[in-house]
C-alpha cells in the first residue's frame, strides 16, 4: 500500500459508474485509492470485496476488517446506490423499500462508521443523496425515503457534535441525473445530466480544502449548458 | 369482530404508551380497534401479535396475514417507535441505527403497505415522525435518520400519486416530547410535554374529517401552557 502523494481516498461503490470514474480520477492525481464493492476494481490500490446476502452489521464488520489497520484517509466517499421506482400500489413496494435502504443507506452508514477510526483530522466524508428527495417522491418512494435518510445522516454527522475527527467535514452530493451508461440506456440524454468528471473535480476540490461548503451541507449538483454548479440546499 | 359504530381503526404499536391511550380513546368512541404489537392489548377488538426476530418482509407478511380478510378501516395509525441516543463515536452507532430503522421505519412502511388493501376510500393513514428531526440530530443520529425517513415516506405517500385509496390522506405527527411514563422516568417533566389524550383528540378529528391538514403534511404537535396546537411544517 505505497502512498505516493501521501493523499488517500476510500471509495464505497468504487466499481460502479461514478465510483470507477472517481477511482481513475484520484489515481491520476496520485492518490492511494481503496475500493469497497461487490467487484474488484483493478485500478484501485486496495479492494474490500463485499459478499452478497450479509446483514447490515455483518457487512459493516466485513468492511471495517477489510481496511488495512492503521490506514489514515483524507477522504471517504460513498457513491454506492441504486434506483427503483414505484408508489404504494406497486406490488414490489416493500421489496424496493428494502433494496433502496440496503443500497443507499446501509452503505452510507457503514462509510460514515469508518470515519472515527480511519479518517484523518480535517478529512472529508461524502455521501450521495438525491436532489429530487428534497421534495416528495411519490413515483419512487423507496428511493426517496432512503435518500432523505442519507440527507439527515449527513446533516447530523456534519454537525459540530456529530462525532467526526477534529476538523472533519461531511457533505452529501445531490445529483439530479448523472451521465452514466445505465442512465443513457434507460433515459433520453439531455444537457442537464452531470458528467462524472465534474463530480470528481468538485470532490477533489473539497478534499484539497478548496471551495468547501459548511460541514453538513446538502450540495445539489446542477448542470446547465454543460456547466455544473454546486447549490447548497 | 362486531363493529358497533361502523368506524374502525388499526393501531400499529397499540400496546405502547401512546398506542394504549389510542386504543382506549377509540374504544370509548365506539370504534372497532385492532392492535398490532409484540404484546396483546386486551382492550382491543383484535390483536395481531408480532414475533421478535423477523426480517422486514417477514414482519410485513405476518401483519398482512393477521388482519382479517375483508377488513375496511377508517384509519391506520402507526405509533410504534423507540429512541436511542448517540453520535458517530458511540460504540453502538450502527446497532442503534439498525434498531431505530426497525422500530420506526419498518413499522411505518408496513402500516402504509396495508392501506391499498385495508383502508377505506377517504381513509386516514398516520405515521409518527419527530419534531427534532426537522433539523440535524447529531446527538441521536439513528433516531433522527429513521424519523426523517418516516417524514419522506409520509410526504410521498400523501402526494396525489402516492397510491392511497381514493380520497385517502396521509399525515405524520411530529411530537416534541410525549407525556409517557417512560419519559417521566428518564426526564424532568415540564409543561411542553404533550398529553396523550391531546394526540388522540387530534387524530380523532382527522379521522372524522375535521380540521384535516393537506395530505402529506408533517404536523408538529406543540404544547404550551397545557394546550396543544398543530403546526404544519
Q: Give chain B's mean pLDDT.
A: 96
In the predicted structure, residue A3 carries a pLDDT above the cut 50: no
Please tell me the distance in Å from A222's CA to the nearest CA on chain B: 22
Set of chain B residues whose Cβ sits within 8 Å of the Cβ of A160: 138
The helix/strand/coil state of A231 is: strand
In which domain, by residue range, is B140 found?
Answer: 8-232
Set of chain A residues whose Cβ sits within 8 Å of the Cβ of B144: 152, 156
Q: What ipTM describes this predicted complex? A: 0.96
In the predicted structure, residue A201 carries a pLDDT above the cut 50: yes
Residue A56 counted as domain residue = yes
Segment among A208-212, B89-93, B181-185 with least mean pLDDT: B181-185
Residue B218 counted as domain residue = yes
In the predicted structure, residue B3 carries a pLDDT above the cut 60: no
Cβ-count burial of B52 within 10 angstroms (0-12 exposed, 13-18 middle, 19+ buried)? exposed
In the predicted structure, residue A63 carries a pLDDT above the cut 50: yes
pTM above 0.95, yes or no: yes
Cβ-count burial of A65 within 10 angstroms (0-12 exposed, 13-18 middle, 19+ buried)? exposed
Residue A2 counted as domain residue = no
Helix (H) or strand (E) holding A203: helix A196-207
Confidence label for B233 from pLDDT (cuts 50, 70 and 90): confident
Residue B13 counted as domain residue = yes
Higher local confidence (pLDDT), A191 or B23: B23
B143 is catalytic: yes
Residue B149 counted as domain residue = yes
Q: Which residue has the cell 380497534?
A: B33
Of A138, A134, A130, nearest to A194 by C-alpha is A130
pLDDT in tens, A115-138: 999 999 999 999 999 999 999 999
Helix (H) or strand (E) holding B149: helix B141-157
Q: Would you call A113 and B88 a contact, using CB atoms and an 8 Å cutoff?
A: yes
How high is the pLDDT of residue B18? 98
Residue B2 counted as domain residue = no
Q: Which residue has the cell 388482519?
A: B67
How high is the pLDDT of residue B226? 85
**What is the arithmetic mean of pLDDT over A79-84?**
95
The number of folded domains in chain B is 1
Instruction: Give me the count of residues in chain B.
Output: 233
Check if the beta carbon of residue A85 is closer than 8 Å to that of residue A143: yes
How high is the pLDDT of residue A2? 46
Residue B1 counted as domain residue = no
Please tell me the distance in Å from A204's CA to the nearest CA on chain B: 24
**What is the arithmetic mean of pLDDT over A40-46?**
98
Residue B101 counted as domain residue = yes
pLDDT in tens, B77-121: 999 999 999 999 999 999 999 999 999 999 999 999 999 999 999
pLDDT in tens, A140-167: 999 999 999 999 999 999 999 999 999 9
Q: Which CATH number goes with the domain that contains A71?
A: 3.40.50.720
How high is the pLDDT of residue A227? 94
CA–CA distance, A79 with A82 (Å, rounded to integer): 10
Amino acid at each position: 500500500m505505497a502512498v505516493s502523494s501521501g493523499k488517500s481516498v476510500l471509495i464505497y461503490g468504487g466499481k460502479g459508474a461514478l465510483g470507477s470514474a472517481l477511482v481513475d480520477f484520484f489515481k491520476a492525481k496520485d492518490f492511494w485509492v481503496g475500493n469497497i464493492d461487490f467487484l474488484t476494481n483493478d485500478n484501485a490500490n486496495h479492494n474490500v470485496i463485499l459478499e452478497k446476502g450479509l446483514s447490515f452489521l455483518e457487512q459493516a464488520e466485513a468492511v471495517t476488517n477489510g481496511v488495512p489497520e492503521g490506514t489514515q484517509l483524507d477522504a471517504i466517499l460513498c457513491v454506492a446506490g441504486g434506483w427503483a421506482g414505484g408508489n404504494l400500489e406497486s406490488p414490489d413496494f416493500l421489496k424496493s423499500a428494502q433494496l433502496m435502504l440496503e443500497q443507499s443507506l446501509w452503505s452510507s452508514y457503514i462509510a460514515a462508521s469508518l470515519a472515527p477510526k480511519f479518517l484523518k483530522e480535517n478529512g472529508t466524508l461524502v455521501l450521495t443523496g438525491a436532489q429530487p428527495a428534497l421534495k416528495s417522491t411519490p413515483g419512487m418512494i423507496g428511493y426517496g425515503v432512503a435518500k432523505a435518510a442519507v440527507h439527515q445522516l449527513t446533516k447530523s454527522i456534519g454537525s459540530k457534535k456529530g462525532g467526526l475527527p477534529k476538523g472533519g467535514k461531511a457533505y452529501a452530493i445531490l445529483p439530479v441525473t448523472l451521465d452514466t451508461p445505465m442512465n443513457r440506456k434507460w433515459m433520453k440524454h439531455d444537457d442537464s445530466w452531470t458528467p462524472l468528471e465534474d463530480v470528481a473535480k468538485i470532490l477533489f476540490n473539497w478534499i484539497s480544502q478548496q471551495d468547501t461548503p459548511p460541514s453538513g451541507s446538502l450540495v445539489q449538483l446542477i448542470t446547465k449548458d454543460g456547466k455544473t454548479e454546486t447549490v447548497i440546499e
